[in-house]
Structure 1
Amino acid sequence: MDHSQPVDIVYLWVDGNDPCWRLKRQLAYEKLSAKQRKTMAVYSNVEGRFRDNDELRYSLRALERYFPAHGHIYIVTDSQAPAWLHAHQQLTVIDHRDLIPAASLPTFDSGHIESYIHRIPNLSERFFYFNDDVFFGAPVKLADWFWKSGVYVGWSDEPVVSNEPLREDATALDNACRLSHQWLSTQLNTQKVPHYTPTFRTFAHSPRPLIKSVLFELESLAPELFAMVRSTVFRTWDKPTIVSDFVLRWSLSQGMAKVRDYVHAHVSTGDKNQPAELSVLKSSLGELDFFCINDTTDNAHPDDPRLSQVRDALQRMFPDPSRFEQAEVVDAF
């Protein structure tokens, strides 16, 4: 594969502290029917799902340190931009309205939003898709993520109970595994899916190496799945994410993805052993292919010390501002 071609970066980002956005979210929730509220997934409308704890700033710093040869960066947002963001020719902010039909807005479900990212104008054929809580943790070699005919994927350590229907109390990724399995099994031995070997595990919460043409192909191959996830306002348990599971699982079935063992870490901010996990994370920096710091403090106050501990740890790991940050203004006394 020609690794001289650019590999762009796509982030989803939201500032859940923005008063205007919060009002939009509140009004959207109030408009939901009783049936829609009943199908909302666990933790689909808690503060931790939308809180900005400065993760994007540090993910960009990690990107510059470990993958300086990246292509263009696209940040997909809902009429927002980080206050610290500096205009740069290599970075573009994409509004939801530029990707998603007006009739489907607003939406607060990342699975819904990410189903449109391949439609970003001028996006490179190969690209990485990030949630803003995901970070590269060591120098990136593209050959570890992309190969001539596809991508590499990594499993998480979490098994999924096989052959179960989608469950109201399950995580989005667990249900995504089940939904993908249902569709692939139904299509097995057809032109759509000539081969399929099920694996009942979720994929690691990682930078997602994706191929734009594959997403367009699947959009026409499985329109019912895309329509399903594109019908949500908030994340629902019966319409789970497909880009972070189905696309990868289908690619495995087609021989367009291979499994690779990555060295990675996952920190949950709400865990009682979070300080120890952050300490291990800092000592492992440079040896981890990637890591995730997942906000599980749910409805905690923005001043919760667990959140400040995460910011402090990230600042110590990545102290140097990226070229995408405005210069800090120091008051003169």
Structure 2
Amino acid sequence: MDQIDIVYLWVNGADPIWQRKRAQAQQRLNPDSLAQYGNVAGRYRDNGELRYNLRALERFFPDHGQIFIVTDGQRPEWLAEHEKVTLIDHADLIPAAARPVFDAGHIESYLHHIPNLSERFIYLNDDIFFGAPVKLADWFAADGLAVHFEPTASPTSDEIQKNETALVNAAVISRRWLGQQFATYQHIPQLCAHAPRAMLKSALWHLEEQAQTLFHAVRSTTFRSWSIPPIMSDLALRWMIQHDLARPQFSPALYISSCEPNAGEQFHALRQHFGQLPYFCINDTCDDCAGDDPRLGLVAEVLAHLLPTPSRYEVSVA
């Protein structure tokens, strides 16, 4: 059985060199093109999620393959040199004329270009964690890989909307494009969930050949644009379902929004059910809050409590 590699995108928004790149790029930004929450600090803030994500990965999926961390010339200071971890610089994937890039949708459109990536892999945002022992059959089964959707339908417009989230607009583009390509396409009205994304490298190469115009568009962005939604978080998943390479799942999962008034209750639920949750998401929705905001501290506090044991990927502390 082939290995299952793991791919993360990671950024340290506090890095002065990266901040200068962002500030220079913002000078050329058309504000009218910017997606909702497309350039807030919370999109780039590092609350230590990747460190704890790797702890969860080692605890719940110790037989994983290579770990690829895609980043813009950065390296977590706590990350050890390890044969199972490969840093992939944006320059290794993205043409020079398109860099720097601050849109995850643009960056992730190149994931299947990662050298030596396994055919079957799982793409994780660093704020999406495994929360229970991973059973590969739950993600890669004979009847297709699992695509997780939110349990309830989310009505969407026939057109993308400037004030809608990227996931909503991505679903609109998917419904339109897939409906044009396939007479048998049946659109699932639920949104794709904040979940680990099981992927097939060969399928993504095939999709890129079929959807060249969409890939060209998403690779033209610098910051997330409301008019150019991401591909990998919706279209790629629905395309694999259409080709019987994947199957939809509608199991509810724990989604924590760090700025919501009930975040404390959500974190309590996480503490109570940790070890039994196939996955969970802690989304930094505090946007442009100060770095010492107590809501951010709560994220690190809860993760440190749940995952206190360093992984083999961390620098040893004497």
Matched, 1:208 2:202: no
CA contact (8 A) 2:156 2:168 kept: no
2:20 is matched with 23
CA contact (8 A) 1:263 1:287 kept: no
The correspondence of residues 210-249 of structure 1 with structure 2, limited to 5 A, is 210-249=199-238
Cα deviation per residue 1:255-288 (whole Å; 9 max; x = unaligned)? Answer: 1111224352100011111111101111111111
1:317 is matched with 306
CA contact (8 A) 2:151 2:252 kept: no
Look up the equivalent residue of 1:75 and give its one-letter code: I
Find the aligned partners of 1:320 and 1:55 in 2 and give their Cα distance. Answer: 14
Cα deviation per residue 1:198-247 (whole Å; 9 max; x = unaligned)? Answer: 11221111110000000000000110111111110000111001101001
The one of 5, 8, 12 equivalent to 1:8 is 5
Find the aligned partners of 2:265 and 2:91 in 1 and give their Cα distance. Answer: 41
Aligned length: 318
User: Cα gap change, 1:158/1:169 in structure 2, threshold over 3 Å: closer, same or farther?
Assistant: farther
The correspondence of residues 30-69 of structure 1 with structure 2, limited to 5 A, is 30-32=27-29, 36-69=30-63
Unaligned runs of 5+ in 2: none
Look up the equivalent residue of 2:260 and give its one-letter code: D
Ranges of 4+ aligned residues in structure 1 off by more than 6 Å? none
The correspondence of residues 1-333 of structure 1 with structure 2, limited to 5 A, is 4-32=1-29, 36-148=30-142, 150-157=144-151, 159-189=153-183, 195-329=184-318
Find the aligned partners of 1:6 and 1:187 in 2 and give their Cα distance. Answer: 33
**TM-score, length of structure 1 as denominator length:** 0.93
- Residue identity over aligned pairs, in percent, reads 49
Q: How much does 1:253 deviate?
A: 1.4
**TM-score, length of structure 2 as denominator length:** 0.98
Find the aligned partners of 2:133 and 2:74 in 1 and give their Cα distance. Answer: 30
Cα RMSD for the two superposed structures: 1.1
Q: How much does 1:149 deviate?
A: 5.7
1:192 is matched with none
Cα deviation per residue 1:128-157 (whole Å; 9 max; x = unaligned)? Answer: 001110100000010000123631111114
Unaligned runs of 5+ in 1: 190-194
